[in-house]
């Protein structure tokens, strides 16, 4: 499948051990039909399912047995 001629492909970058970085804005449709919108130019989508703001990454993937600090929450929902 390729992008239509009038629209560039959306870039998605895989961060090893971390989120998917998607060029925004992004609208995510959850399994229950709920919609989450981020207007950020780059949106970090959680793939570890530990984020407290799922589907957006809150950097909880970085935790190794310590509580998530407020200062860690530098990416995600916009």
Percentage helix, strand, coil, to 5, in the chain? Answer: 10, 25, 65
Structure tokens belonging to residue 5: 């001629």
The one among 23, 40, 48, 72 contacting ligand FES by CB under 6 A: 48
Nearer to ligand FES, 40 or 50 (CB): 50
CB of 1 to ligand FES, least distance (A): 26
CB of 10 to ligand FES, least distance (A): 19
User: What is the Cα–Cα distance from 40 to 51, expressed in whole angstroms?
Assistant: 18
- Binding span for ligand FES by CB under 6 A among 2-10, 27-35, 53-61: 53-61
- Binding span for ligand FES by CB under 6 A among 1-9, 22-30, 32-40, 51-59: 51-59
Residues 6+ apart with CB under 8 A from 50: 60, 61, 63
């Amino acid at each position: 499948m390729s992008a239509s001629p009038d629209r560039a492909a959306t870039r998605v970058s895989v961060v090893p051990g971390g989120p998917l970085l998607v060029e925004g804005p992004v609208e995510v449709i959850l399994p229950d039909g709920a919609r989450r919108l981020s207007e950020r130019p780059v949106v970090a989508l959680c793939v570890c399912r530990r984020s407290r703001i799922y589907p957006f990454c809150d950097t909880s993937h970085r935790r190794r047995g310590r509580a998530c600090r407020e200062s860690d929450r530098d990416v995600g929902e916009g």
